[in-house]
Amino acid sequence: KEGWPAERLLAALCELELSEREQGPPTQRHLAAARLPQGKTLDAFDFLAVPTLSQARVRALVEGDSWLQAGHNLLAFGPPGSGKTHLAGAIGYELIQRGYRVLMARTSDLVQRLQVARQDLALTQEIAKLDKFDLLILDDLSYVRKDQAETSALFELISARYERRSIMITANQPFSGWDAIFPDRAMTIAAIDRLVHHATIFEMNVESYRRRAAYAAATSLSDIEDDRDKQQPEKEIATAKDNSRPATLSSEIET
C-alpha cells in the first residue's frame, strides 16, 4: 500500500515470522504438527490392564534421550484394543514436552504419501522432510496393503532412518505375519532386521480394552435388569397385601 519494493516487503515479512516463532511456545506448535490422538497420555494409560508392560520401563524411555540420539526404535505388538495406539501417542506427547519433534500417522496414510512422492519423482525429498522428526510413529502397520510400489516405499523409509532417526511401530501381527505386508520374503527379512537391530519391544497381548469395556457395560445393565426383576414380585406382593387390608381409616372408607 505504501509502495514498498518487493525486497523490503519480503524482508519485513521474514522478520515478523522469525519474531513470532521466537515468541510463540514451540511445544504447542510441535504438538499440533505431531497429530497425536487427543487425551492419550501416560497418566491416562491403564498399566494394570497390560501386565506385560512395565510402567517404569516406559517412563525411563521418555525421560532419557540416549536411544533417540542413537536412532533406536520402539515396537509395540498386540491385538486390536490392547492400547498400542494410546501408548504410542503418550510416548510422543512426553517427548514433545521435552523438546523433541514427533510425527504420528497411520502407516497406510503415510505409505500413500510416500507413493505419491515417488510418482512425482520426489521420494528422496519427502523422506528427507521426515528427518526433522526425532521420532516417527507408524500406527497400525498390519493394515498396509501388500503392494509392490507402496511397501517398497515403506522399506526405503525404514532403510533411510536406520541408525539415524527413531521409528515407533504398532502392529497387530507378530513378525511371522509380516509376509502379508511386504511383497517378497527378502524385503520382509531386511525390514525386520533393520527395525529390531536397535529396538525396545513391547508385548501387549491382552484382551481388547474396548471388548472389556463393552462386556462390563453389558454386565452392569444385566445386573440392573435382574435387580428390577427381583424387585417386581416384591412390589406385586406388597400391592396385593395393601388391597386385602381392611379399610379402617376414615380416608379409606368408601362413602
Q: Decide if pLDDT at 122 tops 80.
A: yes
Is residue 150 situated within a structural domain? yes
Residue 71 counted as domain residue: yes
Grid coordinates representing 251 are 380416608
Q: Is pLDDT at 59 greater than 90 in this prediction? A: yes
**How confident is the model at residue 78, as a pLDDT?**
95
The CATH number linked to 177 is 3.40.50.300
Q: Is residue 12 part of a domain?
A: no
**95 C-beta neighbours (distance < 10 Å), count:** 24
Residue at 191 is within a domain: yes
- Asked if residue 119 belongs to a domain, the reply is yes
Model pTM score: 0.75
Residue 103 reports pLDDT greater than 90: yes
Q: What is the CA radius of gyration of the chain?
A: 29
Q: Which helix (H) or strand (E) holds 198?
A: none
pLDDT greater than 70 at residue 75? yes
- The model's confidence at residue 2, banded by pLDDT at 50, 70 and 90, is confident
Q: Is position 13 within any domain?
A: no
Report the alpha-carbon distance of residue 112 to residue 110 in Å, rounded.
Answer: 5
Q: Is 54 a residue whose pLDDT tops 50? A: yes
Q: Give residue 55's domain range.
A: 32-209
HSE-CB for 34 with a 13 A CA cutoff: 28
Range with lowest mean pLDDT among 33-37, 125-129, 217-221: 217-221
117: three-class secondary structure by DSSP? helix
- Sign, CA dihedral 88-93-98-104, equals positive
Residues 165-176, mean pLDDT to the nearest whole number: 95
Measure Cα distances from 128 to 28, 86, 123, 162, 193 in Å: 23, 27, 8, 13, 22
Class of residue 190 by CB neighbours under 10 A (exposed 0-12, middle 13-18, buried 19+): middle
pLDDT at position 251 is 43
Domain annotation covers residue 216: no
Residue 248: per-residue pLDDT: 46
Residue 158 maps to a domain: yes
Q: Is the pLDDT of residue 87 over 50?
A: yes
Report how many domains make up the chain: 1
Is the confidence at residue 253, as pLDDT, over 60? no
User: Which residues, at least 6 apart from 232, have a Cβ–Cβ distance to it below 8 Å?
Assistant: none
All cell numbers assigned to 141? 502397520
**62 pLDDT tier (thresholds 50, 70, 90):** very high
Residue 215 has what pLDDT? 66
> In which band, very low, low, confident or very high, does the pLDDT at 216 lie, cut at 50, 70 and 90?
low
